[in-house]
Amino acid sequence: MRILFVCSGNICRSPMAEALFVHMARERGVQDRFTVDSAGTHGYHEGEPADPRTRRLGAKHGIDVTSIAREIRPSDFVDFDLILAMDRGHQRELNRRSPEAHRHKIRLMRSYDRKGVDPDVADPYYGGMEGFERMYDVLQRCCGHLLDALLERDATSGADLA
């Protein structure tokens, strides 16, 4: 299963989601079942590491956030099985760029959040660390439920990802 997490500049939300998912899969001993990456809808920060606040927060929780920012590529729509948008704006942009045959792969990250009512993972970039902490809490829940859903799907071979 190939999974791509997407936010705006690929320095806050999507790198944290990528790192969290990889960390959780490794803890469960299933990391070899997944190829995971992240990208941005825009290349604002192409080639840069994740925001220092994202990396600090990851380190605080024992998670390495090592991704380097990149913009989504046309080949990503073919190469990945599941593309998770951090908010509805990203989802619209991904649907706009995606060939119709691959749009079914695009989902909102919070569709895997059983607790939240907001469909968007809030962008913490312009705020303080409390926004990054809230982002982390949401992504931790979502990544856990996503991993559960994917493993359950594997166990029942072919069930839907939702």
CA distance 8 to 48: 14
Told to judge if 123 belongs to the known catalytic residues of this protein, a careful annotator would answer yes
Catalytic annotation, pick one of 123, 134, 141, 153: 123
Intra-chain end-to-end CA distance of the chain, in Å: 15
72, 6 contact by CB (below 8 A): yes
Told to judge if 141 belongs to the known catalytic residues of this protein, a careful annotator would answer no
Closest to 15 (Cα-Cα) out of 62, 89, 68, 61: 68
Helix, coil or strand: residue 34: coil
Classify residue 130 by burial, with Cβ atoms within 10 Å: 0-12, 13-18, 19+: exposed
| 6, β-bridge pairs | 39, 85
Told to judge if 13 belongs to the known catalytic residues of this protein, a careful annotator would answer yes
Residue 47 CB partners (closer than 8 Å, separation 6+): 68, 69, 70
Q: Annotated catalytic sites, by residue?
A: 7, 13, 123
